Amino acid sequence: MSVKFIGYIGFNNSSEVDQGTRNRALDLDYVRNALRVQEEGGFDRVLIPFGSNTPESQIVAAYGAALTTRLGFLVAHRPGFTQPTLAARQLATLDQLSSGRVAVHIITGGADEEMARDGDVGTTKAERYARSDEYLDVLRHEWQADAPFDHDGRFYRIRKAQSAIKPEHLPVFFGGTSPEAIEVAGRHADVYATWGETLSATRETITRVRASAARHGRSPGFSLSLRPVIAATEEEAWRKAASIVERVREARIRQGLPIRDHAPPNDGSRRLLETASALRQDERLWTGVAQLTGAAGNSTGLVGTPEQVAESMLEYYRLGVDHFLIRGFDPLGDAELYGRDLLPIVREKIAAYDALQSVQAS
């Protein structure tokens, strides 16, 4: 099993420590620098996020692909706002233009307010997962069909669909920990994506997804999202983490945002908030920012020296995690730091572990 590293391009060089919430205006200088730093730093892909008030992820990915030669792109995409046949052609075109460097991260959506901004009003979470399931059925059919096909479903009715352009290899990432999400992931995910929880919680999630996928004859990979905080010494790294917490707290208070009594609408954030009931778990799993933000997205980290954090990442790899989506609170500076000081050590440790496993199996 090999390991892949996914970085992040959030449209500007700010984070929760600056704005309380992530500001998503488009800063072209930052995007260009982030592409360069993460390609030179050895990242395999970068996530381009999706939001109801943010720059459009596929267009940013197309721009990025034109400026890079090796870096791949994980394009966040939300079903329900584009017809699946059109989305299939858009993504296949992007795949061809980038020479096969694209993957898609299907974001079903959990917050009613977020969905309503794009006109999706009145749907339940269960309905949205059912829609994502059907959407992915049509998407893959469009990619694979050699002849025109019809589709009659609950959400989509299609006649004589056929695409002249098809992807060479376009992996589908999918996340969510509710029963509905796990079932859809089992049917469709090439890579199942989850946030940084404890080792025991991650093991449980991997077991659930594998059982769901096995019912469909599938075996997905697993991606874990983390916000590593690294420094030359462990003490310095924990001081750095404490400073990040205080800066996030001050930014949220300044903007009138809550720092406690959160009630997240989605199952994944609720699980992560439960994990954040203790500031520190599994020796170096750090949840200080998750506590303040209500576990809004990728908000937990591993804290320590590069060697210590790499050792913790190896523990997740042993569970079956083969992709790590990592980003920092100083987006550009941390991406450069990870590429220089963290990724090489993780790769070295995983290569040694894989070699030992191969010897023991022979």
**pLDDT average, residue stretch 304-318:** 98
The DSSP 8-state label assigned to residue 48 in this structure reads E
Range 170-187 burial, b when 16+ CB lie within 10 A, else e: bbbbbbbbbebbbbbbbb
Element (H, E) at 54: none
Model confidence at 73, in pLDDT bands (50, 70, 90)? very high
> Which of 81-95, 262-276, 296-310 has the highest mean predicted lDDT (pLDDT)?
81-95
Strand, helix or coil at 159? strand
Kindly state the percentage of the chain with pLDDT values over 90: 74
Query: Rounded to the nearest 5 degrees, what angle is found at the Cα of 202, between the Cα atoms of 199 and 207?
Result: 125
Average pLDDT, the chain: 91
**pLDDT reading at 21 higher than 90:** no
- If we measure between CA atoms, which residue out of 283, 291, 223, 188 comes closest to residue 45? 223
Dihedral over Cα of 189, 195, 198, 201: its sign = negative
**pLDDT reading at 113 higher than 80:** no
Q: Specify the pLDDT at position 136.
A: 98
Q: Specify the pLDDT at position 263.
A: 52
Tokens, residue 354: 């894989």
**pLDDT average, residue stretch 9-19:** 88
Strand, helix or coil at 267? helix
- Residue in the block written with tokens 């694209």: 102
pLDDT tens-digit map of 265-294: 555 555 555 654 556 688 899 998 888 877
Q: Specify the pLDDT at position 42.
A: 98
Separation between Cα atoms, residue 25 and residue 77, nearest integer Å: 18
**pLDDT average, residue stretch 225-252:** 95
Separation between Cα atoms, residue 172 and residue 292, nearest integer Å: 31
Element (H, E) at 19: helix 16-19
